[in-house]
């Protein structure tokens, strides 16, 4: 045994050296086992990312809370308005309206029609105790009696003249008196007929006011005991056929070329915000109002269903005869940023696409798109909640 082996045995016999060697071996074994475990339990390589949708598309999960706030509407076409919305007002059609004043002074005895009643032509409205009406009746009776007396006098004069017992001058005077009395009877009869329309009964000096046309009692300014006069400021009754109304429009000068008799008018009223109404231009003012710089235009509106009421305010638009049919969307569907506008279109279940559109004309309620806009009739457009989709799409970018 050489000296190196003897020296190694001597060192191994030392307890301190043995503990150091054993500790080093344990550390090597621990490091090797840990490395082997990591090699056996290492994570697999991450798979490649799924293909992301285009930047302008958004797919919401089934449980997305945004779906509850979305409101969708199918895009439809409408005629492109030729003008901005104009102020307008519905009025009674004067050619179908009667404003009834009493022809004589008197006092209202009774009323037969109330506000809102539907009446026919000739229906009694009120009874007025009018002394002058009694005087008109008396005048007719007196004229008839005088005419009868003058007719008898003329007959006697003719007999005497034929018997050569009366001068021709006296015969001519009798003929003139008879003609004058007949004229007085006719005058009194015409005056009484003016106060009592055909079919009306005369009951003493009480005057019966009757409806001259069929319609609705839209105003009444009479009560029992009211003193009335023919020169009063307001009529006792206003009766109108509300199946047809007039639409009075204040037309700006720049839109004067669009207003021609027979052209269509589209308008909306606050009472029915989701309904569109139409009319037809009947009259166009010949001059411009110097105070408002507007041209008065009158359109006729069919109101057979009675939904429209006189004195309603409206917003009216005129369309050119060759107006193009374009896509019309509610203003709430638009997302504006700078000079551009965008809308969201549903392209699949819970999938939405953002598209840029062009605005041809816009008012307080609707936007009319240009023909080049990528929206067609039948597309399902988000009209409420578009801002939520835009925010979600921005977070994914």
Inform me whether the pLDDT recorded for 390 exceeds 70.
yes
CA distance 125 to 197: 13
Q: What is the mean pLDDT of the chain?
A: 82
CATH of 57-79+325-396 given 3.30.56.10, 3.40.630.30, 3.90.1530.30, 2.40.420.20: 2.40.420.20
Domain 101-239 has CATH 2.40.50.100: yes
**Spans of all domains in the chain:** 57-79+325-396, 86-93+243-318, 101-239
Q: Exposed (0-12), middle (13-18) or buried (19+): which is 42, by Cβ within 10 Å?
A: exposed
For the chain, percent of residues with pLDDT exceeding 90? 26
Inform me whether the pLDDT recorded for 358 exceeds 70.
yes
* Residue 183, helix vs strand vs coil: helix
Residue with tokens 């050619």: 95
Please give the pLDDT value at position 48: 46
Inform me whether the pLDDT recorded for 90 exceeds 90.
yes
Inform me whether the pLDDT recorded for 343 exceeds 90.
yes
Residue pair 223/114 in contact (Cβ under 8 Å)? The answer is no
* Residue 245, helix vs strand vs coil: strand
pLDDT tens across 29-84, in order? Answer: 555 555 554 555 544 544 444 456 677 888 888 887 778 888 999 999 888 887 77
Inform me whether the pLDDT recorded for 240 exceeds 90.
yes
pTM above 0.75, yes or no: no
CATH of 86-93+243-318 given 3.40.50.300, 3.40.50.880, 1.10.1740.10, 2.40.30.170: 2.40.30.170
CA distance 160 to 168: 10
CA distance 248 to 281: 10
Please give the pLDDT value at position 81: 80
Q: Do domains 57-79+325-396 and 86-93+243-318 have the same CATH topology?
A: no
CA distance 58 to 389: 8
Please give the pLDDT value at position 66: 77
Inform me whether the pLDDT recorded for 339 exceeds 80.
no
Please give the pLDDT value at position 46: 45
Of the listed ranges 134-138, 211-215, 269-273, 387-391, the least confidently predicted one is 134-138
For the chain, percent of residues with pLDDT exceeding 70? 83
Please give the pLDDT value at position 9: 60
Please give the pLDDT value at position 45: 47
Of the listed ranges 14-28, 147-161, 175-189, the least confidently predicted one is 14-28
Please give the pLDDT value at position 85: 83
pLDDT tens across 136-166, in order? Answer: 888 888 888 988 998 888 888 888 888 888 8
Distance of CA 159 to the CA centre of its chain: 80
Inform me whether the pLDDT recorded for 111 exceeds 50.
yes
């Amino acid at each position: 045994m050489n000296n190196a082996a003897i020296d190694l045995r001597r060192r191994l016999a030392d307890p301190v050296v043995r503990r150091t060697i054993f500790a080093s071996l344990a550390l090597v074994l621990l490091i090797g086992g840990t490395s082997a475990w990591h090699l056996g339990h290492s994570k697999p390589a991450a798979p490649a990312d799924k293909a992301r949708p285009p930047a302008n598309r958004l797919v919401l999960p089934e449980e997305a809370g945004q779906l509850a706030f979305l409101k969708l509407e199918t895009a439809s076409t409408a005629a492109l308005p030729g003008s901005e919305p104009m102020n307008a007002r519905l009025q009674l059609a004067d050619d179908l309206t009667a404003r009834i004043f009493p022809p004589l002074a008197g006092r209202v005895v009774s009323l037969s029609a109330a506000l809102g009643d539907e009446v026919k032509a000739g229906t009694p409205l009120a009874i007025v105790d009018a002394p002058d009406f009694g005087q008109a009746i008396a005048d007719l009776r007196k004229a008839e009696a005088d005419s009868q007396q003058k007719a008898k006098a003329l007959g006697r004069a003719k007999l005497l003249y034929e018997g050569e017992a009366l001068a021709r001058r006296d015969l001519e005077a009798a003929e003139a008196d008879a003609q004058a009395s007949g004229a007085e009877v006719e005058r009194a009869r015409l005056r009484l007929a003016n106060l009592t329309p055909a079919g009306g009964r005369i009951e003493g000096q009480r005057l019966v006011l009757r409806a001259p046309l069929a319609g609705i009692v839209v105003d009444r300014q009479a009560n029992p005991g009211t003193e009335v006069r023919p020169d009063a400021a307001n009529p006792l009754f206003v009766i109108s056929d509300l199946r047809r109304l007039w639409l009075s429009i204040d037309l700006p000068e720049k839109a004067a070329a669009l207003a021609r008799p027979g052209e269509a008018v589209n308008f909306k009223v606050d009472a029915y915000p989701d309904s569109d109404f139409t009319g037809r231009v009947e009259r166009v003012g010949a001059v411009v109002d110097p105070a408002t710089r507007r041209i008065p235009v009158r359109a006729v509106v069919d109101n057979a269903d009675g939904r429209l009421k006189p004195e309603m305010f409206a917003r009216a638009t005129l369309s050119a005869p060759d107006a193009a049919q374009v896509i019309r969307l509610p203003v709430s569907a638009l997302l504006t940023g700078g000079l551009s506008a965008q809308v969201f279109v549903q392209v699949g279940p819970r999938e939405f696409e953002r598209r840029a559109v062009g605005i041809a004309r816009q008012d307080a309620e609707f936007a009319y798109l240009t023909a080049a806009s990528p929206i067609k009739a039948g597309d399902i457009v988000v009209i409420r909640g578009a801002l939520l989709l835009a925010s979600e799409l921005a977070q994914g970018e």
